[in-house]
Structure 1
Amino acid sequence: MKTSELTDVVTRVLTTTNLPAAAVADGLAGALRDSHAAVVVAPPGAGKSTLLPLSLLRSYGSGRIVMLEPRRIAARQVAARMAALLGERVGESVGYQVRFERKVSAATRIEVVTEGVLARRLADDPTLEGVSCVVFDEFHERSLQSDLTLCMVRQVRDVLRPDLDIVVMSATIDTAALCRELGASVVSCEGRMFPVSVVQAREDAPVTAIAEAVAAAVVSAHSRHEGDILAFLPGQGDIERCAALLGDSLAPTRVCPLYGNMTMERQAEAIAPSPTGSRKVVLATPVAETSLTIEGVRVVVDSGYCRRLVYDAATGLSHLATVRISHDMATQRTGRAGRVAAGVSYRLWTTATDARMEEQRQPEILDADLTPMVLTLAAFGESDPAALPWLTAPPEAVLRRATDELRLLGAIDSDGTITPLGRRMEAMPCHPRIAKMIVHAADDARKALACDIAAIIEEKDVMSADEVHADLLPRVAALRDARRGHRLGPWRRVARVADEYCRMAHVRSDDSFVGADDIGALVAVAYPERVAMAVDHNGTYRLAGGATVHLDGADSLTGYDWIAVASLHAGGRGAGRVFLAAAVTKSDVEALASWTDNLTWITHQGGVVARRELRIGQLVIDSRPLTDVGDDRLTALVCEAVAREGRSLLDWNDEVRTLQLRVALVARWHPDLGLPDLSTDHLLATAGSWLPLYLHADGHIITTVTALRRLPLTQILWNILPYEAQQTVDRLAPARIRVPSGSMVRLDYRVGSDVPVLSVRLQECFGLAATPCVDDGRVPVLMELLSPGFKPVQLTTDLASFWQEAYFEVRKELRRRYPKHYWPDDPLQAEATRGVRRKK
């Protein structure tokens, strides 16, 4: 259709429709002319997803519009609806592209895509040549891909394409914050909603019996109300169980499941209007919350739950969790009942639970694996994701982990720049791990096998884990048997995904028999940190990443020393559970490992441990002694160990502590002297500056705990002081004092005290008239006078007063207890004595 004809058709559609969005089409065009950005707020059923993109065709001449939908089902339906309004088939003026499916032609002016498609296109063509406008539909869902794509489009507009228009559309979103970020105008649209009454449950639907609760509510609503029923359940398993519970009990009303993994034919059946006089019950995941129009729905049954992929940054693993929805999700679901007439919404949770629910769903970027995002940005040319204009900044720790993972896979280099391998990986519409497995495969047979493994890992497990446990081999064999015999059955979707991967890898699918080791080798390439070594023979394994995982004891894989794990649950604080894995040979593990010099200090092993180890992550495959270690590396390692554990590695005896206290006391008395800090904390923190001089012994570096504890620490610390400082410390704070008996008695310097203690037997002090002093006579010591049995009898700093007063009382007691000792009447004139000696 020519541009002029297309404009006429669009104008006719807008003037003949009674949908509210048509009334704001001109306002949207004006907002884009003024600021190149607009935020459209319109309730469900207003026609924003179909009419507004069509209306923009009148503004861009031959320029194309790319419209993003968060789900494949919605992308197909929105494109089909717009094409029908133009009187065309999909793929002409309006087309779509989703993963593994593309209906676009040279004449296409509006292309509806899922978010990952546009992100990959931006990586290949950052200018978006030929694109005039990018429309983000249902942005309130805040998926990781929508946040990433909006961030990339903003960067393109800010740096390369100031003329590029951005439209963000939603039914529930914080418009003020979004407009500030985008510099956008708000375009509001009134909805065409009928009233919906909300019925709150008296009890919460238990998370362990969601299907049962929904089935009971559907049966009750079916008997009370007319029209079709739309029931929301968390996931495919819940839907299938609920459908089985309902069976034919509502006949002739049809029960139609609706989830992403269904065939297009079955999806279309669930979405299509019911024939006149008939009814249906649609059991849907959140795919039916927005964008999708299911005509005839009058009743909504809302379980109040959804399935969300939760990423554990500590382990690098993700798992699906069933979680409570937020208020904005509940509002979206309720609105599905009021599109054609007044309706009712049954909410299977209590008023009390409703009061505790979050107002808005959390952006997925805060709780997701960011590895694919970082690779896309690297292909886009951005090595620093944190510097981009995010609406919600990604967590730094998760970004770092994603970057490390991509380096491990060889997708980016140390600077964050994408490698040629990474470029090939990014071109594949899958997780970088899966892409690495496919592009790394050495030949066509292995590439075909990698495609089969990828499809099995990504899709719902067809086989019962109770029967085949975690082993991938029987699953690959069953898929190939089904293809070989042309009896795909439950393997149909897995086979289709595998075929798409084969097409992208330029190989044909292969149905030949395959060995377990071939599977394990490919899985190990994709998940090198999940290569696991047996800890025991009961199914316990240790991952290369460090975590412990467990296989069922009856699993055939438990007999292997090495396995490669493709899917597992993190397991919280305990051992994780392996869901999918394959045996891998030691030689295949060695091919992924690298030799590393492991030079560490391990105290309980006696000191320096020097080994050359063949490692994959934290697993040691082989080890041999490391002999060619330079003295500098050994010295640095020992100093680091002392800085970390030096309180137990060095001999901090009483003599050392006394020296530290003496120096510290002189430093307090005379700060002007600038004495070095010999405190333990400071010495350990600065071990690298003083210890290396003393680590050489007999031509070798000291590397053992025993040798370190033999170091003469007192002498080492004394040598830290300059000679002048040594002389000063000895003078002002001597280690010992000579008493009249001739003994050199040690002074006791105590923590926190400015007065040292002289503990000496009283008899050795006869003839000593005054208290000894330190600090050049300024500080008298505290004398602790002892009995012949070394028991304290008196504390004093005034020895002269003691001789005059207290001595005679003390003498009475000492003469009674020690009668053989000498207790003179005049101690100042008596001769000091050390032993039992009487004066003649």
Structure 2
Amino acid sequence: MTDALPIDAVLPQVIAALQTRGRVVLQAPPGAGKTTRVPLAMLEAGVTQGRILMLEPRRLAARAAAERMAQTLREKAGDTVGYRVRGASAIGKSTRIEVVTEGILTRMLQDAPDLPGVGAVIFDEFHERSLNADLGLALCLEVAGALRDDLQLVVMSATLDAAPVAALMDAPVVTSEGRSFPVEAIWLDRPIGKQRLEESVSDLVLKALSEAEGSALVFLPGEGEIRRVEALLRNQVPDDCTIAPLFGAMDFTAQRRAIDPSPHGRKIVLATSIAETSLTIEGIRIVVDAGRARRAKFDPASGMSRLVTEKVTRAEATQRAGRAGRMSSGTAYKLWTRGEEGALAAYPPAEIEVGDLSGFALELAVWGAEAADLSFVTPPHEGRLAEARAVLHMLDALDDQGRITNHGRALARLPLHPRLAHMVDRGGSRAPLLAALMAERDPMRGAGTDLRMRMDAVEGKRTTAQPHAPTIARIRQEAKRLSRGQSNNGPDDVSPLAALAYPDRVGLRRKGDAPRYVLSGGKGAVMPDGDALAQTRLIVATDLDGDPREARVRQAVPISEGELRELFEDQIIWRNLCEWSRREGRVLSRQQECFGALVLDDRNWTDAPDEDVARAMMDGVRLLGLKAGKAATLFLARARLMGDDFPDFSEDHLTETLDDWLLPHLNGVRTTADWKAFDLLPALKARLTWEQQQVMDQRVPPHFETPLGRKIAIDYDAEVPQIALRLQELFGVTTHPTVAGKPLQITLLSPAQRPVQVTMDLPGFWRSSYADVRKDMRGRYPRHPWPEDPTQADPTLRAKRRGT
């Protein structure tokens, strides 16, 4: 290690921490040299017994780091230092340092939890917080605590908030300074406004090339933006400038061309966030940052992931700017104003917070642990983890108790999303090719939604649209790797294969002109207008944009009902359905043949049981509300006066307990008109025993019986119970009538049925006001009796005979 790097100053601290504690968190800015120096220092110090395993988040970074360390030792990759990434490896018998991508560690742990032959695991670029890195660290911590107390753990990062990780690991933090080369930051004078991102970036690149020396590294969110900026710059940059795209989907040879020194002149590297990591690109002294990052976010409401383009965080911006100062002083041009920088978030979200947890949940099940049993920097959200487990259960990877199945173990061994792994394991010989196609970016963008056209292209058949040749080549290469050991026992056609991967995204076209679909998982989807599949009755939507309200179909394949029935025979069931239709105002009784949320056949259910109809009618009752007739209203008013020792007849309680007291009485009621005509009184009375009804009739009677034997209905709708009757009918009554222990309000009427007095104290009325009333009434109604002492007179409704 002849060239001095900033990390060299703290390497003794790192070695000491490993000797005393067996673990350390190393915080070092970009350019400090941690990726290539730390593993070699550990090897040279002899602090580690066994191989050193270093994890990198990307294949390009893993190969580049291994080759750079090998060059330092004047060896080739595969000797002392080697690498293992998807599709390539360079490992020999003498290899002591292995640089691998993060998923490989998980597979190693699942195969042999004690990691035989491995003495240390280094998590490089941990600030990226990938799911595999978080899971790998959690599993290593458990292994170190239970099986391997000698296993050394190192977490290295450029922009990570180290304290939480150090606390989780119970490890010391070692901090290194970065390179001393200064990087000048240049912001925009004003926001870019409505100008397209690619145009603004290309203008800023030309400005940077004219003002600063050296090659330029331009950060863009994705391949599409890279290709558009490349097209804008191609005829505007000086002749000695070479434009080199750099993104994850490129083959390794093309990626190497981007990071290798330019043979002549300056280089303009148009890169995604792949260049934020431990890559050193020779000659870079200019960084142009578009200020955007593309992240995959999972929406549990729709069960779909979608790519979202967002503003970079301050940590990402710092990491990107640092690329300009790795070899000498440089300049970072930022496509935002200095004021806008203050509003940026501090750190990007961890993948465990926003990503699809299906593969993560599968690995936990294989490990035989719950997330709560392991130590995570950021624990996964339990609701989103439950959604992931539901997907795995749908794919037969988990049993009804949530335990891993043999099929689930097979899926975990395939380097695919569990959906695609399920398709490969259960499908025929074409399944690996289709899985590779579906896992890769679309090789025929803008060519409609039909997945079959893409499959024709990768199989070498003629298509109406021109496919992207490098993408097709990558798909074929990956398919060969996936085909090893595949059973080939399942279906081979594209439609059933796609349905195996996405049984919850089989779509049935809704009625109407618009190409809208209901998916078997219950969500909605819409096909682009005019698409060749827009009139198809049944589809499998293999790519959706993730809109939670109505996802837009980006890729799909038609499927016949026969194929669907053959594939999911055991999941297509008949359901008897009674439900209240708010639109029609009645109970609908149907028999439906269903696959998930799809209704394949729908018939009238003519002999639906009365109980099922009544239960459906209950939903209508809740919408229409309780509507008591006159008799039922009187009953309720009386019952509510009975006190706390009596059954509760309050409106809230009756509504809450509808199923208990109303359901048995709804036979024959199935429409709004039936409900309006329904007499509620028998159902209400049925809540009381015979004895309770007798007590209620005594304490709160429905009628008041006069001395003449007439029954007068008591009005319970008023503030107090009341009756109205002719004054003469109460002659001789010396005790005021009561209801539930309280006085009854009496309106005393004249012979002409007009009110003459309202009283709640009849004896008091006889003693006081009656004399004045008698004087007035005798003149008006001389033929009616008006005795001086009404308490001694007989009640009557008769008038005197004429002449008496």
Please confirm whether the aligned pair reaches a TM-score higher than 0.5, indicating the same fold: yes
Q: How does 1:762-773 map to 2 (within 5 A)?
A: 762=726, 765-767=729-731, 769=733, 772-773=736-737
Q: 1:626 offset after TM fit, Å?
A: 7.3
Asked whether the 8 Å contact 2:578–2:588 carries over to 1, the reply is: yes
Q: 1:176 offset after TM fit, Å?
A: 1.7
2:439 matched to which residue of 1? 458
Distance in 1 between residues matched to 2:783 and 2:327, nearest whole Å: 117
Q: How does 1:775-790 map to 2 (within 5 A)?
A: 778-784=741-747
Q: 1:100 offset after TM fit, Å?
A: 2.7
1:621 matched to which residue of 2? 600
Shift in alpha-carbon separation, 1:507–1:184, aligned structure 2, 3 A: closer
Q: 1:830 offset after TM fit, Å?
A: 7.7
Say whether 1:307 aligns with 2:294.
Answer: yes
Shift in alpha-carbon separation, 1:22–1:627, aligned structure 2, 3 A: farther
1:171 matched to which residue of 2? 158
2:696 matched to which residue of 1? 729
Q: 1:788 offset after TM fit, Å?
A: 8.4
Shift in alpha-carbon separation, 1:557–1:835, aligned structure 2, 3 A: farther
Asked whether the 8 Å contact 2:507–2:518 carries over to 1, the reply is: yes
2:256 aligned counterpart, secondary structure: helix
Q: 1:269 offset after TM fit, Å?
A: 1.5
1:602 counterpart (579, 584, 592): 579
1:286 counterpart (263, 273, 276): 273
Say whether 1:46 aligns with 2:40.
Answer: no
Q: 1:138 offset after TM fit, Å?
A: 1.0
Shift in alpha-carbon separation, 1:239–1:696, aligned structure 2, 3 A: closer
CA-to-partner distance for each residue in 1:335-374, whole Å, 9 max, x for gaps?
Answer: 1111222221111112332121111111121111111111
Larger deviation: 178-187 or 735-744?
A: 735-744
1:592 counterpart (568, 575, 581): 568
TM-score (norm 1): 0.85
Distance in 2 between residues matched to 1:815 and 1:161, nearest whole Å: 114
Asked whether the 8 Å contact 1:439–1:505 carries over to 2, the reply is: no
Q: How does 1:150-161 map to 2 (within 5 A)?
A: 150-161=137-148
Shift in alpha-carbon separation, 1:61–1:552, aligned structure 2, 3 A: closer
Distance in 2 between residues matched to 1:815 and 1:66, nearest whole Å: 117
2:232 matched to which residue of 1? 245
Larger deviation: 582-591 or 616-625?
A: 616-625
2:75 matched to which residue of 1? 88
Asked whether the 8 Å contact 1:69–1:112 carries over to 2, the reply is: yes
Distance in 2 between residues matched to 1:538 and 1:821, nearest whole Å: 85
1:270 matched to which residue of 2? 258
CA-to-partner distance for each residue in 1:116-147, whole Å, 9 max, x for gaps?
Answer: 22223322322222222211111111122222
Asked whether the 8 Å contact 1:820–1:837 carries over to 2, the reply is: no
Asked whether the 8 Å contact 2:587–2:616 carries over to 1, the reply is: no
CA-to-partner distance for each residue in 1:676-730, whole Å, 9 max, x for gaps?
Answer: 33434434545566667x4698xxx999989888887544444444454433333
Give the RMSD, CA atoms, in angstroms: 3.8
Shift in alpha-carbon separation, 1:234–1:503, aligned structure 2, 3 A: closer
Larger deviation: 386-395 or 225-234?
A: 386-395
2:711 matched to which residue of 1? 744
Distance in 2 between residues matched to 1:145 and 1:479, nearest whole Å: 30
1:30 counterpart (8, 13, 16): 16
Distance in 2 between residues matched to 1:286 and 1:186, nearest whole Å: 26
CA-to-partner distance for each residue in 1:809-832, whole Å, 9 max, x for gaps?
Answer: 88999999x999969586945855
Q: 1:405 offset after TM fit, Å?
A: 1.0
Distance in 2 between residues matched to 1:110 and 1:839, nearest whole Å: 134
Distance in 1 between residues matched to 2:590 and 2:709, nearest whole Å: 58
Q: How does 1:381-460 map to 2 (within 5 A)?
A: 381-382=368-369, 384-441=370-427, 443=428, 447-448=429-430, 450-460=431-441
Asked whether the 8 Å contact 2:259–2:282 carries over to 1, the reply is: yes
Q: What are the ranges of 5 or more consecutive residues in structure 1 without an aligned counterpart?
A: 1-12, 669-673
What letter is aligned with 1:728? V
The size of the alignment, in residue pairs, is 792
1:556 aligned counterpart, secondary structure: coil
What letter is aligned with 1:602? E
Q: 1:25 offset after TM fit, Å?
A: 2.3
Asked whether the 8 Å contact 2:448–2:531 carries over to 1, the reply is: yes
1:796 matched to which residue of 2? 759
Shift in alpha-carbon separation, 1:733–1:837, aligned structure 2, 3 A: farther
Say whether 1:522 aligns with 2:502.
Answer: no
Distance in 2 between residues matched to 1:201 and 1:23, nearest whole Å: 37
Q: 1:582 offset after TM fit, Å?
A: 0.7
1:757 matched to which residue of 2? 721
Asked whether the 8 Å contact 1:771–1:781 carries over to 2, the reply is: no
CA-to-partner distance for each residue in 1:301-344, whole Å, 9 max, x for gaps?
Answer: 11111111122111111111110011111111111111222221
1:111 matched to which residue of 2? 98
Q: 1:397 offset after TM fit, Å?
A: 2.0
1:475 counterpart (418, 429, 454): 454
Distance in 1 between residues matched to 2:799 and 2:291, nearest whole Å: 93
Shift in alpha-carbon separation, 1:626–1:821, aligned structure 2, 3 A: farther
Q: How does 1:167-566 map to 2 (within 5 A)?
A: 167-205=154-192, 209-250=196-237, 251-275=239-263, 278-382=265-369, 384-441=370-427, 443=428, 447-448=429-430, 450-465=431-446, 468-481=447-460, 490-506=468-484, 518-535=493-510, 536-566=512-542
Distance in 2 between residues matched to 1:812 and 1:341, nearest whole Å: 121
Distance in 2 between residues matched to 1:371 and 1:378, nearest whole Å: 11
Q: What are the ranges of 5 or more consecutive residues in structure 2 without an aligned counterpart?
A: none
1:3 matched to which residue of 2? none
Distance in 1 between residues matched to 2:138 and 2:709, nearest whole Å: 87
What letter is aligned with 2:455? V
Q: 1:208 offset after TM fit, Å?
A: 6.8
Q: 1:81 offset after TM fit, Å?
A: 1.0
What letter is aligned with 1:21? I
Asked whether the 8 Å contact 1:521–1:585 carries over to 2, the reply is: no
Q: 1:172 offset after TM fit, Å?
A: 1.4
1:671 matched to which residue of 2? none
Distance in 2 between residues matched to 1:45 and 1:803, nearest whole Å: 109
Q: 1:453 offset after TM fit, Å?
A: 2.4
Larger deviation: 266-275 or 427-436?
A: 266-275
CA-to-partner distance for each residue in 1:429-477, whole Å, 9 max, x for gaps?
Answer: 1111111121111x3xxx22x2332233222222242xx3101122222
Distance in 2 between residues matched to 1:37 and 1:644, nearest whole Å: 65
Asked whether the 8 Å contact 1:94–1:108 carries over to 2, the reply is: yes
Q: 1:56 offset after TM fit, Å?
A: 1.9
Asked whether the 8 Å contact 2:586–2:620 carries over to 1, the reply is: no
Say whether 1:69 aligns with 2:56.
Answer: yes
Q: 1:606 offset after TM fit, Å?
A: 8.2
Distance in 2 between residues matched to 1:571 and 1:836, nearest whole Å: 89
